[in-house]
Amino acid sequence: MNAPPLLLHRDDETHGVDQYARAVATAVAKLDSAVTYRSAHGLVSSQLAHVHFTDRLWGSTPERAAERFERLAARGPVSVTLHDVPQASDGAKGFPRRSECYRRVVAAAAGTVVNSTHEQRLLEAALGSRVQVHVVPLPAQPPQPRPDEWLPTDEVAVLGFYYPGKGHLEVVNAVAAIPSERRPRVVALGCASAGHEQELADLERYARGLGVEFSSTGFLSPEERLERSRSVAVPIIAHQHVSASGSLTDWLSAGRRPLTVDSDYFREMDAIRPETMHLVRSGELATALQLALLRPESTWLDDGTSTSPSIDEIARAYLSWWAAL
């Protein structure tokens, strides 16, 4: 490939995947002024294009999302970064439909990127065969330093869009195990993903029944998200069925070292970025949380801790990969 591809977005500035597509495109454009970044709508050029794909962003159903991608690929070659890779937790009906959607996307794509080797394994399990992919981890910006004087709020937080399985329920249950006189508030730093608003309201009622104060901030701008991420006492990641986690990189960029429930993905990320999270065994979150509340300063990254790869490194990785297509 002699020129970088057209970098396309889906015109949804509130969706995390589209936000990431824009961030990568901006970083790539700083390295190569020939880069063009535009909406995928109405594209007629046959030049190689690149998109970030999750079925929920590309269509109202997995089938419609696959059809939309295939139409784009029929215009000319399209490489793709996959997000939210299908897994068994999608359910007996959702898993096969989403798996078929991703099979069609991979088949139509000129090249495929995933964000971890964990996602590669999930993708191969979903498709039932080996898949040729390129792994480019999600980036984290160099961490913000810890403030000289820090007085945390009496809150523990889960960062990012709310949806069932993100870990909010597990955090509420962990806080409920703390004696009421020492019980912090639980805050969801972000709004509900589309279609999950009622479940978020249901969780608020459930927490209230346990004597836990739970609230959601609603949508936060990047500046607001950074401020709140740095003010809470304990950052927590408790994903139950993680594919890849932008919440982790957001915590790291804010300078925080979150309590992170152990999984294959987070062990992989811990190997890439040592000393950037506190891995917690499944079933031990309540104990780890109570210890962290006694020493909230332990949830800050030590000075000099590397959170590489950064967005600039990721942009260079994409340019190198496109050049080899």
Q: Tell me, yes or no, whether 37 lies in a domain.
A: yes
CATH number for the domain spanning 63: value is 3.40.50.2000
Give me the pLDDT at residue 123, please. 97
Residues 38 and 76 in one domain: yes
**Domain extent at residue 46:** 6-139+309-324
Taking the C-alpha atoms of residue 19 and residue 317, their distance in angstroms, rounded to an integer, is 19
Residues 179 and 281 in one domain: yes
Residues 186 and 129 in one domain: no
State the amino acid at position 157 in one-letter form.
A
Q: Tell me, yes or no, whether 19 lies in a domain.
A: yes
State the amino acid at position 102 in one-letter form.
Y
Nearest to 259 by CA among 239, 241, 273: 239
pTM score > 0.85 for this model?
yes
Residues 319 and 284 in one domain: no
Q: Tell me, yes or no, whether 144 lies in a domain.
A: no
3-class SS of residue 234: strand
Q: Tell me, yes or no, whether 17 lies in a domain.
A: yes
Residues 174 and 129 in one domain: no
Structure tokens of 170? 């597990």
Residues 180 and 292 in one domain: yes
Residues 91 and 18 in one domain: yes
Q: In terms of pLDDT, which residue wins out, 15 or 91?
A: 91
Distances (CA, A) of 53 to 76, 114, 139, 165: 17, 10, 17, 21
Q: Tell me, yes or no, whether 242 lies in a domain.
A: yes
pLDDT bucket at 1, cuts 50 / 70 / 90: low
Task: Look up residue 178 and give its DSSP letter.
Answer: S
Give me the pLDDT at residue 14, please. 76
Q: Tell me, yes or no, whether 145 lies in a domain.
A: no
Q: Tell me, yes or no, whether 146 lies in a domain.
A: no
Residues 285 and 318 in one domain: no
Number of domains comprising the chain: 2
pLDDT bucket at 38, cuts 50 / 70 / 90: confident
pLDDT digits (tens, 9 = 90+) for 158-181: 999 898 889 999 999 999 999 999
